[in-house]
A and B are shown apart, each in its own frame.
Chain A
């Protein structure tokens, strides 16, 4: 009998599989398909202070082995999430969730974390800093070590639950951003967010996506994600939630060996709605294949 449990900052998950934010809504859509309690946890749709419709359509483009999305953080806003989405979720999920939040100013992140911190169902805060900072001319929080430090520090002040900072890979040196958020007190790091990409319709000679560029995800980015997790593991001493193109239990093992304690599954849920469940179910078989008894033993095993 293999042991698939892993622990994130004192929170023990039955297994490391966490559907990634933006691919799993607030959970209940998938609960119509299968019992989502089989999952380690899941990361809910990126939630902002105010309701957001997001970007114009088309928001989606296909790529070889992946996709580009430019949804633009569509969500009903923190108050509606707490009053409407979380009660629906509680009816079908008896575990804690990863609360994924986004913001466009430091104060916004702080306000959201303050509100969500009081919710029992939240296991940890996953702070998406791949957003433009409206007070700094739209410069992305996650591409600037000082801004990443500042938002981490501010959020940590008001949070009693663990704070994980979700990093963008669209930087020159991801390890330096990771070090900055560790120094600011982050309990862990989540990576990678999508890679910035685009596609052009050769018939119309125009970008496929209305917003021109978008986040590239899917199995095509797995090797970039693996490399980033490996680099960040070398640079910091806090746990890592690894993600980016994970589409099988084999990928989960590889991501954990690179340094991830838990693993998020993103775009794969969109092409295979049962994808995360199938990975959880296949994990024991793949562990036996590689003679792994205790899954947590392999974290960072490649270093």
Chain B
């Protein structure tokens, strides 16, 4: 974990309530896809944990949804604004353990961490496919980013306004895979868990206090013992999950 000051490069709307923010600063502690950063906002006591969408030597990019007062404020921040950010949080996805034909599944704002993971998996020479699930056409974002990587990308929408009608699980049979990596709302994770025939890595969300393992605010029970979503997670292996 590292605490440092980042400068906003851009903060733009992707949909009516989803924003993309690029933060320039010291990214040296961001080691694995699936990690998150924890952002201090003026006037808010707790930091905002947001997953990493992309990362290179000079900047980290996040995609976040406006869901409350903190993110409502965050969307107003402009180019040049500085933010106190903790980086290198969470255990992320271990690319080496992810199999050779990896199916990525993201639901809503569970899509962003799949992008950095896709890049790292491709770098490691693995075959990657992506399924992204949304409620409706207007909510879709980041599809072109995955396509630019050359990743076969399937979109599902609940109302059928774009792509395959239904849930992400409706697209799973169209892909050959030996491992699933997924992030999204818990009901979606559960549906993927039931529908998948292979092992997999599931990224969970929980309200956090500190985000670095100190407060026990985000504990969960697993088959391998009690775990903290922020420190031992957010990525858990399929075999340890208790629903």
Number of residue pairs spanning A and B whose beta carbons lie under 8 angstroms apart: 87
Chain A residues whose C-beta falls within 8 Å of the C-beta of B214 in the assembled complex: 23-25, 29-30, 269-270, 273
- With A53-B221, A269-B214, A274-B3 known as contacts, the answer to whether A74 contacts B226 (CB < 8 A) is yes
Q: Are A22 and B45 neighbours in the complex by a CB distance under 8 Å?
A: no
Q: How far apart sit A86 and B194, CA to CA, in the bound complex (Å)?
A: 41
Chain A residues whose C-beta falls within 8 Å of the C-beta of B40 in the assembled complex: 271
Q: Are A271 and B212 neighbours in the complex by a CB distance under 8 Å?
A: no
The verdict on B197 contacting chain A, using a C-beta distance below 8 Å, is: no
The verdict on A87 contacting chain B, using a C-beta distance below 8 Å, is: no
**Interface digits, B106-137 against A, CB 8 Å rule (1 contact, 0 not)?**
00000000000000000000000000000000
**Interface digits, B199-222 against A, CB 8 Å rule (1 contact, 0 not)?**
000000011111011111111110
- Closest chain A residue to B226, Cβ basis: A53
* Interface residue from A30, A45, A60, A74 paired with B208 (Cβ < 8 Å): A60
Q: What is the minimal beta-carbon distance from A128 to any residue of chain B, in angstroms?
A: 15
**Interface digits, B180-211 against A, CB 8 Å rule (1 contact, 0 not)?**
00000000000000000000000000111110
Q: How far apart sit A270 and B217, CA to CA, in the bound complex (Å)?
A: 11
Of A61-69, A152-160, A228-236, the stretch lying at the interface with chain B is: A61-69
Interface set, chain A 123-174, CB cutoff 8 A to B: none
Q: Are A33 and B1 neighbours in the complex by a CB distance under 8 Å?
A: yes
The verdict on A12 contacting chain B, using a C-beta distance below 8 Å, is: no
Size of the chain B interface, CB-CB below 8 angstroms: 26
Which of A60, A65, A74: most chain B Cβ within 10 A? A60
Q: How far apart sit A238 and B46, CA to CA, in the bound complex (Å)?
A: 35
Interface set, chain B 28-50, CB cutoff 8 A to A: 40, 44-47
Q: Are A29 and B212 neighbours in the complex by a CB distance under 8 Å?
A: yes
| B interface: dominant SS | loop
Chain B residues whose C-beta falls within 8 Å of the C-beta of A270 in the assembled complex: 46, 209-210, 214-215
* Interface residue from B45, B206, B208 paired with A218 (Cβ < 8 Å): B45
| A interface: dominant SS | loop
Q: Are B3 and A71 neighbours in the complex by a CB distance under 8 Å?
A: no
Interface set, chain A 22-40, CB cutoff 8 A to B: 22-25, 29-30, 32-33
The verdict on A197 contacting chain B, using a C-beta distance below 8 Å, is: no
**Interface digits, B207-243 against A, CB 8 Å rule (1 contact, 0 not)?**
1111011111111110000100001000000000000
Chain B residues whose C-beta falls within 8 Å of the C-beta of A32 in the assembled complex: 1
The verdict on A301 contacting chain B, using a C-beta distance below 8 Å, is: no
The verdict on B23 contacting chain A, using a C-beta distance below 8 Å, is: no
**Interface digits, A243-259 against B, CB 8 Å rule (1 contact, 0 not)?**
00000000000000000
**Interface digits, B1-33 against A, CB 8 Å rule (1 contact, 0 not)?**
101000000000000000000000000000000
Q: Are B219 and A54 neighbours in the complex by a CB distance under 8 Å?
A: yes
Which of B208, B209, B213, B220: most chain A Cβ within 10 A? B209
Chain A residues whose C-beta falls within 8 Å of the C-beta of B86 in the assembled complex: 273
Q: How far apart sit A208 and B208, CA to CA, in the bound complex (Å)?
A: 13
- Closest chain B residue to A62, Cβ basis: B46
The verdict on A59 contacting chain B, using a C-beta distance below 8 Å, is: yes
* Interface residue from A23, A57, A274 paired with B206 (Cβ < 8 Å): A57
Q: How far apart sit A71 and B228, CA to CA, in the bound complex (Å)?
A: 12
Q: What is the minimal beta-carbon distance from A196 to any residue of chain B, in angstroms?
A: 17
Q: Are B3 and A271 neighbours in the complex by a CB distance under 8 Å?
A: no
- Closest chain B residue to A210, Cβ basis: B207
Q: How far apart sit A45 and B212, CA to CA, in the bound complex (Å)?
A: 15
Q: Are A273 and B215 neighbours in the complex by a CB distance under 8 Å?
A: no
Chain A residues whose C-beta falls within 8 Å of the C-beta of B207 in the assembled complex: 57-61, 208
- With A29-B212, A60-B208, A274-B3 known as contacts, the answer to whether A65 contacts B218 (CB < 8 A) is no
Chain A residues whose C-beta falls within 8 Å of the C-beta of B208 in the assembled complex: 60
Q: Are A74 and B219 neighbours in the complex by a CB distance under 8 Å?
A: yes
* Interface residue from B45, B210, B218, B221 paired with A64 (Cβ < 8 Å): B45
Q: Are B221 and A57 neighbours in the complex by a CB distance under 8 Å?
A: no
Q: What is the minimal beta-carbon distance from A240 to any residue of chain B, in angstroms?
A: 25
Which of B210, B214, B216: most chain A Cβ within 10 A? B216
Q: How far apart sit A64 and B215, CA to CA, in the bound complex (Å)?
A: 19
Q: What is the minimal beta-carbon distance from B83 to any residue of chain A, in angstroms?
A: 14
Q: What is the minimal beta-carbon distance from A197 to any residue of chain B, in angstroms?
A: 13
Q: What is the minimal beta-carbon distance from A93 to any residue of chain B, in angstroms?
A: 15
Q: How far apart sit A2 and B73, CA to CA, in the bound complex (Å)?
A: 43
Q: What is the minimal beta-carbon distance from A198 to any residue of chain B, in angstroms?
A: 14
* Interface residue from A45, A54, A58, A273 paired with B210 (Cβ < 8 Å): A273
Q: How far apart sit A53 and B217, CA to CA, in the bound complex (Å)?
A: 11
Q: How far apart sit A22 and B1, CA to CA, in the bound complex (Å)?
A: 20
Known: A53-B226, A65-B45, A270-B209. 8 other contacts (CB 8 A): A29-B212, A45-B216, A58-B207, A59-B207, A60-B215, A60-B218, A64-B45, A218-B45
Residue ranges of A at the interface with B (Cβ–Cβ < 8 Å): 22-25, 29-30, 32-33, 45, 53-54, 57-67, 69, 71, 74, 208, 218-219, 267, 269-271, 273-274
Which 10 pairs, one residue from A and one from B, show the smallest C-beta to C-beta distance?
A270-B210, A60-B217, A58-B207, A60-B209, A74-B216, A62-B46, A60-B207, A71-B216, A59-B217, A270-B209
